């Protein structure tokens, strides 16, 4: 029999706040974390806005000397993981350490470190490149550092699937516990992509919104959407086997019951027509959960605010859910957080879990001119109270990666 898996702790650093509490409060109020681009010279780029993390101090969590040996994306992950474990009231002792694992994804890893060290290489030569260059840059180092700080000696991995990295990581960690290879997994996604090269690449690919107004630049499912807004941050969850969590008296946010992952086999950046790959991931997650499509009450959409993504995700939902697509609610919190790339799935899984626990559906803000082809209930502009039992979170990534998670309101 499959072992039950529950969420017992959450931690996040986002453009809306440096804790889950701050972030979730802003989400419920429909506030935007998007502002003018400040981390790099905005005059260099056609995109002028970003969803930047503000007033974050890693030294509140670790010592300065250690922090200097980590990239910003690792800072976010370590801080979020420490907050999540504290929230779960989990003590990782020698007795359980080898049954506690870490699985945190990142789409592009330490881009800031790469840029800085390449500039050093050009100006001062190879001998001046930091010996920490590679361990700071590689995407798996977020998981590595979290395991070191927490003493977690179980399975340790990093899924790199572009914008689906966080969701795939959570799904993969869920399966580790379900099959019995660990009792606890610290999992999610992290990203710090607001650097010159990443912005240049996404601008050249015409993926970013060119709307200079921070308040309206991210507008998923709106007819006037013109691209995503780049964001940064991390979202980390503590997953535990149900009986293990109950035995130690842990509070439980929700149960995770389904995971689906597919490949488009179509194009390096464009989604498969009609959302065919996304539809299969959604269906696989529902089948894995052992429920019917009509059981799903809410979907936290990938909803990037790009023309094709929003349309094809809408079509995928209609394919899987049929008439029920018009009865469920589906919103994009990227309208407020921007697109956190590999961290998106981690942060959005937290929103999905909190929506279940509190009975509040996050809104899609800036939805004022609906696209006629995007005609579902996207919870426009204001959060909504709703008693929901099953919820889903979707992520879709460059390379044709599609991932979906199903969560259930906890039943003791």
Q: 158 an active-site residue?
A: no
Give how far the C-alpha of residue 308 lies from the chain's centroid of Cα atoms, to the nearest Å. 20
Spell out the residues 6+ positions from residue 249 whose beta carbon is closer than 8 angstroms to its own.
none
Alpha-carbon distance 104 to 76, whole Å?
A: 11
The per-residue b/e assignment along 14-47, b for 16 or more CB within 10 angstroms, e otherwise, is bbbbbbbeebbebbbebebbbbebebbebeebeb
Residue from 284, 17, 287 nearest 167 by CA: 284
Instruction: Look at strands 184-191 and 233-241 and give their pairing.
Output: antiparallel
Spell out the residues 6+ positions from residue 88 whose beta carbon is closer than 8 angstroms to its own.
8, 9, 238, 240, 250, 251
The active-site residue out of 158, 163, 203, 374 is 163
Q: In terms of C-beta density within 10 A (0-12 exposed, 13-18 middle, 19 or more buried), how is residue 399 classed?
A: middle
Q: Which residues does the annotation mark as catalytic?
A: 163
């Amino acid at each position: 029999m499959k072992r039950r898996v529950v969420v017992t702790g959450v931690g996040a650093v986002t453009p809306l706040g440096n804790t889950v509490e701050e972030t979730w409060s802003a989400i419920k109020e429909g506030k935007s974390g998007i502002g003018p681009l400040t981390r790099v010279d905005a005059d260099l780029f056609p995109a002028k806005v970003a969803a930047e993390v503000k007033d974050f101090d890693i030294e509140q969590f670790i010592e300065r000397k250690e922090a200097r040996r980590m990239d910003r994306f690792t800072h976010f992950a370590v801080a979020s993981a420490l907050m999540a474990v504290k929230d779960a009231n989990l003590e990782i002792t020698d007795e359980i350490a080898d049954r506690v694992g870490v699985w945190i994804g990142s789409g592009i890893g330490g881009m800031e470190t790469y840029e800085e060290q390449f500039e050093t290489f050009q100006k001062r030569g190879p001998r001046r490149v930091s010996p920490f260059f590679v361990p700071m840059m590689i995407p798996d180092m977020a998981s590595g550092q979290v395991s070191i700080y927490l003493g977690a000696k179980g399975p340790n991995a990093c899924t790199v699937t572009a914008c689906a990295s966080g969701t795939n990581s959570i799904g993969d960690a869920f399966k580790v516990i379900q099959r019995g290879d660990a009792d606890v997994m610290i999992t999610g996604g992290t990203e710090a992509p607001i650097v010159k090269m990443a912005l240049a690449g996404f601008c050249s690919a015409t993926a970013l919104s060119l709307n200079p107004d921070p308040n309206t630049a991210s507008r998923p499912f709106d007819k006037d959407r013109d691209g995503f807004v780049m964001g940064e941050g991390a979202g980390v969850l503590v997953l535990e086997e149900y009986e293990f969590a109950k035995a130690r008296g842990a509070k439980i946010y929700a149960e995770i019951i389904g995971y689906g992952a597919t490949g488009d086999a179509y194009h390096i950046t464009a989604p498969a027509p009609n959302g065919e790959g996304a539809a299969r991931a959604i269906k696989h997650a529902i089948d894995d959960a052992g429920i019917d499509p009509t059981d799903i009450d809410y979907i936290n959409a990938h909803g990037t605010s790009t023309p094709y993504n929003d349309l094809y995700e809408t079509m995928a939902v209609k394919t899987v859910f049929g008439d029920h697509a018009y009865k469920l609610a589906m919103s994009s919190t990227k309208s407020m957080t921007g697109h956190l790339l590999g961290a998106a799935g981690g942060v959005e899984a937290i929103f999905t879990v909190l929506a279940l626990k509190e009975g509040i559906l996050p809104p899609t803000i800036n939805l004022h001119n609906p696209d006629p082809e995007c005609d579902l209930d996207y919870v426009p502009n204001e959060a909504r109270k709703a008693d929901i039992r099953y919820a889903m979170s979707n992520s879709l990534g460059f390379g044709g990666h599609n991932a979906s998670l199903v969560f259930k309101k906890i039943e003791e």
